[in-house]
């Protein structure tokens, strides 16, 4: 029904690829016994490893255990380790397990429990007629914990025990900001025809990602395959490449600030704190991020950032003059090396013909040297906030890098 | 390979359910011609409406047009409307379309273009041998725009033209905060056995959602089916229900602040701006949200929030005393009715035996009346930040409601 967004699939694909296991297909069905059984049956014809996520909770619509047991013709039996897991989970939270949750200790006969360190529902691991069946709890934090701590070590051991030297499928992402996808594709040119590694471009949240995918005997060989392409791509796009793989723009900015021994403070109007949130998602950001002011009202801009009232009266709160004054005021008030000021119209209301929704001014004051950029972003309120925070980080990155 | 998270599937499921069309299965495959063709073939055996998302970009790995055309044995031909769409998209951005993008004007013969108001790639709509095939661009903003502006009106018209009075499948979400799932399930008791509407519970990001799903002849009848259950659930859980359907906790808080004519200011340490970001995701939040201070360093806590240095020296920055002083200082500095102060350890480092990672103190000063709560959250840095912002919003909601 579309109530939840599936983040487990992407996580699982990354982790399995790392072991050389290709996630060839993901299937999503409703909480319906027959649909789940059918999906398991079909998957077992197609694949050697069938992983079922979700449906291990304590309620009536949690049907994955039953579906797997029925599909394989096995009874559900209480598993001692799964029982201990749910009891110790309750105890750690200072509660007694309710009778309802004991359903979560039932597993298909022959399955091993995959204990869940952050929840009541253990997963299950079952080898049956040459295939491996895995049950995993659905909540993403529990899913990730059981995959990392229980499933991956088991799969790794199995591959080693079988003496299989598997080809690993490895990808390398090169992250580009400040260019449209078509421009990146033009710069890549003939490289897009390459087979191993294959080269493709992807667009996500204001960034263009160049993805290299290689099939190799091991990670070492994959790295050797990537190296010459990375070198060429770097030559062609170096002014726009801010990171690789799981790197984020906020990490790239943090790294440069740390290298230069500089501190940062942020003055946010339309982004409402999102920029500070993203900067502080980076562990250790307290070394260079002093803090910021969310100046949502004009009074706060004037009183706490020292923006002159006349600037707001003459040019309006959304203007290059006010963005500059916010950046400057922020840097001075917090005694930081760099101040950022963002002011704009996130919508959906508040736009005019002259200043439409999506208009954002971003100012950077780096030790007294100020630059301001204007952008018109499209999309809904959250999109506009995101793109404004993204572009401000990009300006800062570009400035720190040059 | 897990590089992107699929948000389109959930969006599509919601929109289709609203027309009474059940999204019975989602299949995710790689950018590989044969895999896409196989997925289309299988889907056409199972369903009447086959929607293919993604793979309409300008690059070599964008293969959905080819896969659909080949599966149905149709040639790809240039579609004038799709061509105009990509040219006008380029012109609006002040660029000339590059030769590469003209691939995006090719559609299977007989298909109508579904113009894309926010991107270069049009979708396609094709009736073929009694089935409907739809191509949609992958980037989520473009996907949503083409679904809403082009696809849904066409499907709606088709259902009407066929004179089909379809049963609609409608769900109603009742959102609960401050109780574990098992406690909610206990309170629901016999209601979990109900068939139409069916009642299930879901856990997501600190909230428990009670989902009622009804099959009815129209939305009016569905509402009549929901009403008595909603009434009972409301009686049993009213102190914990903060919203319905797409409602968010930040909206519920905003609504109460607006009703009471009160203003809010936030002092954030470990959440780094996330609380302000969430509050300002609500359109119109400038009516009650004055702004905030992200007090990441102790100097900022002292200088801008007036937290006494001695409090930090005696109790540490992560302490109930400092959370209280932050809330109080915030309220006073910004002359707000309500001040919030959050201080904690988001990790992964910085924890001690006495003050572990995940320890967070949240203070609320409501017109001089202060309360502080302590919580130990689990998970990674972003999880801890999220839960701290979520719990602070919950405390504020509970306080404003009482």
CATH number of the domain where residue B373 is located: 3.90.950.20
Q: Are A165 and A28 in contact (CB under 8 A)?
A: no
Cβ atoms < 10 Å from Cβ of A34: 12
Do B369 and B285 reside in the same domain of the chain?
A: yes
* Inter-chain touch B200–A61, beta carbons under 8 Å: yes
Cβ atoms < 10 Å from Cβ of B140: 19
A237: helix, coil or strand? helix
Provide the pLDDT for residue B123. 97
Q: Are A65 and A79 in contact (CB under 8 A)?
A: no
Give the residues across from B293 on adjacent strands.
Answer: A293, B267
B138 CA to chain A: closest CA distance, Å?
10
B267 CA to chain A: closest CA distance, Å?
9
Question: How far apart are the C-alpha atoms of B113 and B125, rounded to whole Å?
Answer: 6
Do A178 and A225 reside in the same domain of the chain?
A: yes
Taking CA–CA distances from A43, the nearest residue in chain B reads B27
| Residue that terminates a domain, selected from B98, B128, B161 | B161
Question: How far apart are the C-alpha atoms of A384 and A358, rounded to whole Å?
Answer: 6
The answer to whether B374 contacts chain A (CB < 8 Å) is: no
CATH code, domain carrying A127: 3.40.980.10
Provide the pLDDT for residue A90. 81
Do A234 and A262 reside in the same domain of the chain?
A: no
* Inter-chain touch B141–A379, beta carbons under 8 Å: yes
Question: How far apart are the C-alpha atoms of B66 and B124, rounded to whole Å?
Answer: 12
Question: How far apart are the C-alpha atoms of B397 and B402, rounded to whole Å?
Answer: 9
* Inter-chain touch B296–A275, beta carbons under 8 Å: no
In the numeric block, the tokens 């979560």 are attached to: A104
Question: How far apart are the C-alpha atoms of B316 and B319, rounded to whole Å?
Answer: 6
In the numeric block, which tokens belong to residue A364?
């950077």
Do B109 and B174 reside in the same domain of the chain?
A: no
Taking alpha carbons only, the member of A114, A118, A113, A103 closest to residue A55 is A103
What residues of chain B, 317 to 346, have a C-beta less than 8 Å from chain A? 333-334, 346
Provide the pLDDT for residue B207. 92
Do B145 and B213 reside in the same domain of the chain?
A: no
B24: helix, coil or strand? coil
B333 CA to chain A: closest CA distance, Å?
9
Do B111 and B199 reside in the same domain of the chain?
A: no
pLDDT-based confidence at residue A306 (cuts at 50, 70, 90): very high
Do B147 and B13 reside in the same domain of the chain?
A: yes
Between A320 and B119, name the one with better pLDDT: A320
Residue A54 lies in a domain: yes
Question: How far apart are the C-alpha atoms of A344 and A358, rounded to whole Å?
Answer: 7
Q: Which of A5, A35, A295 sits opposite B5 (nearest CB)?
A: A5
* HSE, side-chain direction, 13 A CA sphere, residue B188: 28
Q: Are B384 and A280 in contact (CB under 8 A)?
A: no
Chain A hits for B273, CB-CB cut-off 8 Å, are 266, 268, 272-277, 279-280, 292, 294
CATH code, domain carrying A211: 3.30.70.2860
Residue B2 lies in a domain: no
Mean pLDDT by 10 residues, chain B (402 residues): 87 88 92 94 95 91 95 97 91 77 94 93 96 95 94 92 78 93 91 88 88 88 94 95 95 97 98 98 96 95 96 97 98 97 94 93 96 90 94 96 90
| Residue that terminates a domain, selected from A161, A187, A212 | A161
What's the whole-number average pLDDT of chain A? 93
Do A149 and A179 reside in the same domain of the chain?
A: no
Question: How far apart are the C-alpha atoms of B163 and B161, rounded to whole Å?
Answer: 5
Q: Is the predicted pLDDT of residue A95 greater than 80, yes or no?
A: no
Mean pLDDT of A7-29: 91
Long-range contacts, stretch A313-321, CB < 8 angstroms, 24+ apart: A316/A355, A317/A269, A317/A343, A318/A270, A318/A343, A318/A344, A318/A345, A318/A355, A318/A359, A318/A360, A318/A361, A319/A343, A319/A361, A320/A361, A320/A363, A320/A372, A320/A374
Taking CA–CA distances from A57, the nearest residue in chain B reads B202
Provide the pLDDT for residue A165. 67
A266: helix, coil or strand? strand
Chain A hits for B299, CB-CB cut-off 8 Å, are 290
Residue A116 lies in a domain: yes
Provide the pLDDT for residue B286. 94
Do A77 and A141 reside in the same domain of the chain?
A: yes
If you ran DSSP here, which 8-state letter would residue B111 be given?
P
Domain that holds residue B21: 8-161
Residue A67 lies in a domain: yes
Q: Are A163 and A81 in contact (CB under 8 A)?
A: no
Residue B3 lies in a domain: no
Do A318 and A210 reside in the same domain of the chain?
A: no
Question: How far apart are the C-alpha atoms of B64 and B67, rounded to whole Å?
Answer: 5
* Inter-chain touch A101–B182, beta carbons under 8 Å: yes
Question: How far apart are the C-alpha atoms of B70 and B271, rounded to whole Å?
Answer: 51
In the numeric block, which tokens belong to residue A185?
């594709």
What residues of chain A, 143 to 172, have a C-beta less than 8 Å from chain B? 169, 171
Residue A97 lies in a domain: yes
Do B119 and B240 reside in the same domain of the chain?
A: no
Testing the interface with A: which of B54, B152, B198, B291 to mutate, by most A Cβ within 10 A? Answer: B291
| Residue that terminates a domain, selected from A194, A228, A244 | A244
Counting the structural domains of chain B, the total is 3
What residues of chain A, 72 to 131, have a C-beta less than 8 Å from chain B? 95, 98, 100-101, 118
If you ran DSSP here, which 8-state letter would residue B346 be given?
-
Q: Are A172 and A212 in contact (CB under 8 A)?
A: yes
DSSP sequence for A346-392: -SSS---SSS-TTEEEEEEEETTEEEEEEEE--SSHHHHHHHHHHHH
Buried b (16+ CB within 10 A) or exposed e, B13-24: bbbbbbebbbbe
Q: Is the predicted pLDDT of residue A94 greater than 90, yes or no?
A: no
Residue B385 burial (CB < 10 Å; 0-12/13-18/19+)? buried
Residue A118 lies in a domain: yes
In the numeric block, which tokens belong to residue B329?
């200082």
Q: Are A75 and A108 in contact (CB under 8 A)?
A: yes
Phi, psi of B375 (to 5 degrees): -140, 150
Chain B hits for A61, CB-CB cut-off 8 Å, are 198, 200
Of the candidate ranges A206-220, A305-319, B270-284, the one whose mean pLDDT is the lowest = A206-220
Mean pLDDT of A17-31: 89
Rg (alpha carbons) of chain A, rounded to whole number: 26
Question: How far apart are the C-alpha atoms of A304 and A42, rounded to whole Å?
Answer: 63
Return the C-alpha torsion angle B12, B16, B21, B26, nearest 10.
0
Residue A3 lies in a domain: no
Do A356 and A212 reside in the same domain of the chain?
A: no
């Amino acid at each position: 029904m579309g109530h939840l967004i599936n983040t487990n699939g992407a996580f699982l694909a990354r982790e399995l690829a790392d072991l050389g296991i290709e996630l060839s297909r993901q299937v999503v069905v409703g909480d319906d016994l027959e649909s789940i059984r059918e999906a398991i049956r079909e998957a077992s014809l197609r694949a050697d490893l069938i992983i079922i996520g979700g449906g291990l909770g304590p309620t009536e619509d949690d049907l994955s255990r039953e579906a797997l047991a029925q599909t394989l013709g096995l009874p559900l039996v209480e598993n001692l380790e799964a029982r201990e897991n749910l009891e110790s989970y309750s105890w750690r939270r200072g509660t007694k397990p309710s009778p309802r949750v004991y359903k979560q200790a039932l597993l298909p006969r022959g399955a091993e429990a995959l204990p869940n360190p952050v929840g009541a529902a253990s997963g299950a691991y079952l080898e049956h007629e040459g295939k491996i069946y895995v049950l995993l709890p659905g909540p993403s934090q529990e899913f990730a914990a059981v995959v990392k701590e229980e499933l991956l070590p088991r799969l790794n051991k199995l591959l080693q025990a079988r003496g299989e030297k598997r080809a690993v499928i490895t990808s390398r992402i090169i992250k580009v900001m400040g260019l449209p996808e078509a421009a990146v594709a033009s710069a890549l040119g003939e490289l897009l025809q390459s087979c191993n590694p294959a080269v493709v471009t992807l667009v996500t949240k204001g960034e263009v990602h160049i993805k290299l995918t290689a099939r190799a005997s091991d990670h070492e060989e994959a790295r050797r395959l990537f190296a010459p392409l990375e070198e060429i791509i770097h030559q062609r796009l170096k002014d726009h490449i801010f990171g690789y793989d799981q790197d984020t723009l906020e990490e790239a900015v943090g790294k440069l600030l740390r290298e230069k021994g500089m501190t940062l403070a942020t003055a946010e109007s339309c982004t409402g704190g999102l920029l500070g949130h993203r900067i502080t998602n980076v562990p250790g950001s307290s070394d260079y991020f002093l803090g910021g002011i969310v100046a949502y009202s004009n009074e706060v801009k004037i009183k706490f950032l020292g923006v002159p009232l006349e600037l707001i009266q003459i040019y309006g709160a959304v203007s290059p003059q006010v963005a500059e004054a916010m950046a400057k005021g922020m840097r001075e008030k917090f005694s930081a090396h760099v101040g950022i000021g963002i002011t704009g119209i996130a919508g959906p209301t508040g736009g005019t013909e002259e200043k439409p929704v999506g208009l954002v001014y971003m100012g950077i004051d780096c030790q007294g040297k100020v630059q301001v950029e204007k952008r018109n972003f499209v999309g809904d309120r959250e999109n506009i906030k995101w793109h404004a925070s993204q572009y401000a980080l990009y300006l800062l990155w570009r400035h720190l890098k040059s």
